[in-house]
Amino acid sequence: MEKYSYRFSFGPWNIHEGADPFGPPVRPSRSLDEKLPLVRQLGFDAIQLHDDDAIPNLDDLSSQQLVQAARDLRRQIEDAGLTTEWIAPRLWEDARTIDGAFTANDPAVRAYASDRARKSIDIAREMDTDLILLWLAREGTYIRESKDGAWATERLIEAVNELLAYDPGIRILIEPKPNEPMDLAYIPTIGHGVALGMFTSDPARVGVLMESAHAVLAGLDPSDEMAFALGLRKLWGVHLNDQNGLKFDQDRSFGSVDLRRAFNQVRVLDEHEYWNVGMVGFDVKTMRTQKAERATAHLRNSLDVFLRLVGVVRSMDRQAVSAAIDGRDYEELDHLVMNALLGG
Ligand code: XUL
Ligand code: MN
């Protein structure tokens, strides 16, 4: 299928064993070695990696060993015909970061978080990517009285500044999410992410990654969240997926819940030539019911829906759309969109 000028990515966690909070894994684990060849086979160009997806035992390695392991992985990724989109420090699984990482009340925990994030930069350098993703998973609270939110904002800026200073060649992507695992997160929306970046020591090197499900959980429209960041030239990454209302983070296949919402996400990306600034990443999980041998179908489905929606966006009758907008005939505009989505 025509891929236009887009490049596509996903992460190894998107091929998943199916465990949920109420039940154990239902599919065997696959190693990164097994997953890498699938990425190209599924029509994708790049892989996204947490620091420990790249190097599982990174906390036990010397810096020299870390660099060597990253070099070896880079070769393996290149041999699979791929590149690495970004590296993300996984700051939310360690026992120390149970109540936050950069915003933990305990200074020893904050020091661990910064140290761990610097390791991501060391890995990224060897993997030939300049992008570090920060999903600020536990930067928030279970009860508001446990932390000072203003102080936490200052700590986040300080942490980003330290990373920017550690390597003048890197750029940082902030991925907002309003809740889960914490009850209330400090950086819930794209607006918060952009604002945080603007108050760092080098705003030109801080942008955002918009995830569709996270926007929906915040009660916002994903295409508006992207358009806001596009207008500010800050949209450098996306995690497209879908979400059925306000419940747990579902990471459903792109477009599978609300096709029109997906259409609008593709529309803003396409109209603003997003392919010039970033890759199209999907953060999708297959259903727990899916059998192991068919556990990548959600990635195929998401990519297929995205590309077909690019086709729909580009096939719309521009003149008819403009005429409807000029005449303030939004019922006609609505019909043009629905007609296009129904194969009109
Ligand atoms: C969590 C989430 C993560 C980040 C990467 O909801 O979306 O997978 O995208 O750490
Ligand atoms: Mn994500």
Residue 231 contacts by C-beta under 8 Å, 6 or more apart in sequence?
A: none
Ligand 1: distance of its center to the CA of 342 in Å? 32
pTM: 0.98
For the segment 125-181, what is each residue's pLDDT rounded down to a tens digit?
999 999 999 999 999 999 999 999 999 999 999 999 999 999 999 999 999 999 999
**pLDDT score of 99 more than 90:** yes
What is the average pLDDT score of the chain?
Answer: 98
pLDDT of residue 1: 82
Ligand 1: distance of its center to the CA of 88 in Å? 9
For the segment 24-83, what is each residue's pLDDT rounded down to a tens digit?
999 999 999 999 999 999 999 999 999 999 999 999 999 999 999 999 999 999 999 999
Helix, strand and coil content of the chain, in percent to the nearest 5, comes to: 50, 15, 40
Q: Which ligand lies nearest the alpha carbon of 134?
A: 1
pLDDT of residue 201: 98
Known catalytic residue: 224? no
Picking from 79, 89, 12, 83, the residue whose alpha carbon sits closest to that of residue 58 is 89
**pLDDT score of 344 more than 90:** no
How far, in Å, CA of 306 to CA of 255, rounded? 8
C-beta 249 within 6 A of ligand 1: yes
Picking from 238, 235, 166, 236, the residue whose alpha carbon sits closest to that of residue 200 is 166
Torsion sign across C-alpha atoms 222, 303, 84, 136: positive
Exposed, middle or buried by CB within 10 Å (0-12, 13-18, 19+), for 335?
Answer: middle
Q: Please, what are the domains in the chain?
A: 8-296 (3.20.20.150)
Ligand 2: distance of its center to the CA of 169 in Å? 24
Known catalytic residue: 50? yes
User: What is the mean predicted confidence (pLDDT) over 306-327?
Assistant: 98
Q: Which of 51, 52, 53, 283 is catalytic?
A: 53
For the segment 175-206, what is each residue's pLDDT rounded down to a tens digit?
999 999 999 999 999 999 999 999 999 999 99
